[in-house]
């Protein structure tokens, strides 16, 4: 049997690395084997033996960055094909949920009244996500063929995105509307107009300058389950002065 540290089995080494949130392998970026291969290739043949050792268990470690919004219900994206017989979820190495055989799931610490463990697929749901729910989560499970495996997730909890701002600009024969929001992650954008049939899912939208000034435009932004919106009347987009100056206006819907 292959061993890592003194008296430590291969599976133990894999579990230890996963428990560290892939820190030694990818600096919490969860890049995994690709980065390790690139580094070790520059040090061959010294690192060849070590590379083969780590490569043998890296294929069994799943490490993924996931994001949730404060106040939302968050479910870890677990994908397991085999039937599951035992489940243990930990957060920063502390047990938060457990299930075995015919028993009902047991929840610990902060998830005692806010967690739900799906016994069929291993998914763990956290209700009403809080900032202190952020951390390294490990799913350690045994399937129907008595095989143990570990999935690791780094959960980052973000504040909800703010209401978007709509800017408008006259450029040539077009009226350009732009929707912006100060948020750390990419957003999904949707535009809606009171009478114009324009379906756009981009941050900017172009419409003819001769549009009815009484038209209303609304921008919707969405991340995860959270959606915010703002609306303006196009009468606010026609300045008295000439030029292509951006006018930033928004009204929360």
Output the pLDDT for position 61: 58
Task: Check residue 66 and give its pLDDT.
Answer: 96
pLDDT of residue 62: 59
Residues 169 and 139 reside in one and the same domain: no
pLDDT at 197: 80
| Residue 40 shares a structural domain with residue 51 | yes
Are both 81 and 140 inside the same structural domain?
A: yes
Task: List the strands of the sheet with 135-143, edge to edge.
Answer: 61-69, 148-158, 135-143, 84-91, 94-100, 106-107
Q: What's the predicted TM-score (pTM) here?
A: 0.67
pLDDT band, residue 143 (cuts 50/70/90):
confident
Residue 42 confidence (pLDDT): 46
Residue 19: asked if its preceding bond is cis (omega within 30°), the reply is no
Question: 182 or 44: whose pLDDT is higher?
Answer: 182
Six-digit token pair at 12? Answer: 């133990």
Domain of 207, CATH number, reads: 2.60.40
Same domain (yes/no): 175, 225: yes
pLDDT value of residue 242: 44
21 and 69 both lie in a single domain: no
Do 102 and 14 have their domain in common? no
In this structure, the answer to whether residues 126 and 146 fall within a common structural domain is yes
What is the span of the domain harbouring residue 15?
1-59
Distance (Å, rounded) from C-alpha 125 to C-alpha 139?
13
Taking residues 31-45, report their average pLDDT: 44
How many independent structural domains does the chain possess? 3
Instruction: Give me the chain's average pLDDT, please.
Output: 77
């Amino acid at each position: 049997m292959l061993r890592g540290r003194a008296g430590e089995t291969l599976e133990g080494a894999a579990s230890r690395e996963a428990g560290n949130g892939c820190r030694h392998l990818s600096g919490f970026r969860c890049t995994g084997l690709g980065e390790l291969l690139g580094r070790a290739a520059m040090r061959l043949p010294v690192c060849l033996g070590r590379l083969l050792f780590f490569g043998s268990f890296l294929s069994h470690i799943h490490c993924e960055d996931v994001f949730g919004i404060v106040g939302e219900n968050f479910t870890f994206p677990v994908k397991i094909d085999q039937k599951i017989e035992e489940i243990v979820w930990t957060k920063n190495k502390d047990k938060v949920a457990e299930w075995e055989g015919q028993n009902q799931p047991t929840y610990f610490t902060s998830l005692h009244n806010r967690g739900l463990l799906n016994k069929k697929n291993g998914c763990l749901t956290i209700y009403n996500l809080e900032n202190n729910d952020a951390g390294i989560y490990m799913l350690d499970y045994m399937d129907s063929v008595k095989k143990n495996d570990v999935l690791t997730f780094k959960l980052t909890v973000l504040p909800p995105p703010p209401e978007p701002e709509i800017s408008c600009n006259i450029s040539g024969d077009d009226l350009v509307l732009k929707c912006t929001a100060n948020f750390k992650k990419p957003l999904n954008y949707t535009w809606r107009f009171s009478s114009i049939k324009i379906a756009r899912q981009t941050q900017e939208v172009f419409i003819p300058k001769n549009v009815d000034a009484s038209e209303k435009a609304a921008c919707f932004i969405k991340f995860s389950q959270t959606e915010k919106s703002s609306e303006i009347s196009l009468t606010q987009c026609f300045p008295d002065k000439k030029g292509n100056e951006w006018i930033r206006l928004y009204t929360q819907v």
